[in-house]
Structure 1
Amino acid sequence: MDNIPLYVILFFALFIFLSSFFTVKQQTSAIVERFGKFQSIRHSGLQLKIPIVDKIAGKINLKIQQLDVIIETKTKENVFVKMKVSVQFKVIQDKVYEAFYKLEYPHDQITSYVFDVVRAEVPKLKLDDVFERKDDIAIAVKRELNEAMTTYGYDIINTLITDIDPDIQVKNAMNRINAADREKSAAEYEAEAGRIRIVAKAKAEAESKRLQGQGIADQRREIARGLVESVDILNKVGINSQEASALIVVTQHYDTLQAIGADANSNLILLPNSPQAGSDMLNNMVASFTASNQVGESMKRYQKKKDSGQEVKRSMTDFNQSEESKSRDKENPENTDLV
């Protein structure tokens, strides 16, 4: 001992003293073994151990951890999909011993259970149902993991299905179906809009025609009323109805010519358009009115004669029937008595 320098002894003593203390971080547990045998579990803070005899076998993280598992499986209609299942878990603080000594690779264990549950549930569902019922699948995974991992000191906080990725050909087909449905809906809406436009246009045209017809009727009514008033005025000065009608027509003829001539850009031609057209029209109208009156008088006389002939014929028929009745009464006096 005398040959050992003092500073070596001091250094060795300091080393022994310092190795007796160790610290554990927050949300962490340390496993202390003595000669390879479990001794104790130390939590966060400054801890003491026997140097050389005790050693730290390992540390357990008590924080919530997440494990992402990618699974490829098929649906009921044999469509292969890739699913991403995110498992959130943590070590139970009271079961650090089980988590450290009973299970060496917890991630592998959790992955195996996730594969088992997902490949048991998804083949029962169609692809559309997989998307709609992904929460049910996640709940089934969580239930199965909790039953299995609690024994090993792990608590499953939550399981989430964060991605469902079908085969690329299936996705293209689904997109085409979706696009076709949207095009169908768009076509139906466009057809309905077209129908509404047609109906509205038809109603507007009908209303326009009705108003136009009403306007024309009102216009003709006013024209007729004006003509009647004009004829009455002309009759008061000694002009008869035929001459008055002819005069009005000729006046309208010249008014029309004046209106046509007032428009410099008009390409309308009125036929006939000779200087004597007005007088010819007047003579023709007077002649037609005279002929019309003659025809009307002839029709009246003919109708009177026809009515007179029918009366005579009816009287003769009644007389003949009366004479026949009298002759029958003379031949059969018994009928008369009976009567």
Structure 2
Amino acid sequence: MIETYVIIFIVAVLILSGLFVVKQQTIAVIERFGKYVRTNSPGLNLKVPLIEKVAGRVSLRIQQLDVIVETKTKDDVFVQLKISVQFQILKEKVYDAFYKLQNPHDQITAYIFDVVRAEVPKMILDDVFEKKDDIAIAIQRELKEAMLDYGYDIVKALVTDIDPDSQVKQAMNRINAAEREKVAAQFEGDAQRILIVEKAKAEAESKRLQGQGIADQRREIARGLEESVDVLNNVGINSQEASALIVVTQHYDTLQSIGEHVNSNLILLPNSPQAGSDMLNNMVASFTASNQIGEAMKKANDKKDSKN
């Protein structure tokens, strides 16, 4: 009886030792006496106890490798590029991925260094920033072709960071600051120019309206004088007497207007009624002389035309 229990126990232990679990998105590689036999999928699996063993487990998940590469651009600027490569093992090529490469990360890193140091020295620094997607595409293309034989698929390659030398970065920051100051100065100049133009337009409009107002004022004054002369003529006062009366009236109205300002320092000389009469006589004399000169010039032009 005891021997039977012992045998049953040993058999149970052997069976249990042959059971193993494979996690999701993982493939187990089974060897028999050191030789590859098969791969087992996720779930509960069974191997032959003492004969077969799990040589290793291969993850089918997408993995990421970050590599920093230092190189020199075409314009002799040292720059560090951070490359992120996403890759995964192909399910149908688990054997190649497990047995052909001992350290796939080193292999991928070597290819990244080779591609970056072949592409970046062809570009100036500004082009490296502008064409980082082209660099990433070149890395992905080269890696995909090289790593496919080893069972690896390159999902994506990204240039995640570009870090020039510190002195170059300081120079770039100064250039950017100068450009921004230049743009700000241009905007300020445009704004100042607009203000000057608008101010000139406003002043021109003000002068135009002021001139129009003065013209309207003089037109109304003339109309009022004309009406005043007509009224005075109707009561038997001739034009010269009417003009004298209007001048005297305007003279006293002006004196009254000046007297209304308490702190006024203006002195009107002469301020007698005779001054208004003298001014009228001078105006009449000027008008008469002007008419005589005009008539003389007209006669001279007529004689000249008749001779021709």
Q: Secondary structure at the match of 1:269?
A: coil
Q: Which residue of 1 aligns with 2:264?
A: 268
TM-superposed deviation, 1:157 = 1.0
TM-superposed deviation, 1:199 = 2.2
The 2-side partners of 1:259 and 1:18 are apart by 127
Instruction: Give every structure 1 segment of 4 or more consecutive aligned residues whose post-TM-superposition deviation is greater than 4 Å.
Output: 4-11, 286-290
Residue 194 (structure 1) aligned to one of 183, 187, 192: 192
The 2-side partners of 1:41 and 1:73 are apart by 42
Runs of 5+ unmatched residues, structure 2? 304-308
Q: Which residue of 1 aligns with 2:25?
A: 27
The answer on 1:284 being equivalent to 2:278 is yes
CA contact (8 A) 2:248 2:277 kept: no
Q: What is the root-mean-square deviation of aligned Cα atoms in Å?
A: 2.9
Go from structure 1 to structure 2 and tell me whether the alpha carbon gap of 1:39 and 1:227 turns closer, same or farther (over 3 Å shift). Answer: same
Amino acid in structure 1 at the alignment position of 2:193: R
| Identity percentage of aligned residues | 63
CA contact (8 A) 1:247 1:282 kept: no
Q: Deviations over 1:276-317 (max 9, x none)?
A: x33342453466468x38x85xx79xx7xxx9xxx9xxxxxx
Greater shift, 229-238 or 169-178, is seen at: 229-238
CA contact (8 A) 2:251 2:273 kept: no
Q: Deviations over 1:226-279 (max 9, x none)?
A: 22222233334343434332322221222233334445xx422342378xx333
Q: Which residue of 2 aligns with 1:176?
A: 174
Residue 203 (structure 2) aligned to one of 202, 205, 209: 205
Runs of 5+ unmatched residues, structure 1? 312-339
Q: Which residue of 2 aligns with 1:40?
A: 38
The answer on 1:249 being equivalent to 2:243 is no
CA contact (8 A) 1:26 1:45 kept: yes
Q: Deviations over 1:149-176 (max 9, x none)?
A: 1111111111111111222222222222
TM-superposed deviation, 1:101 = 0.9
Q: Which residue of 1 aligns with 2:306?
A: none
When normalised by structure 1's length, the TM-score is 0.77
Amino acid in structure 1 at the alignment position of 2:135: I
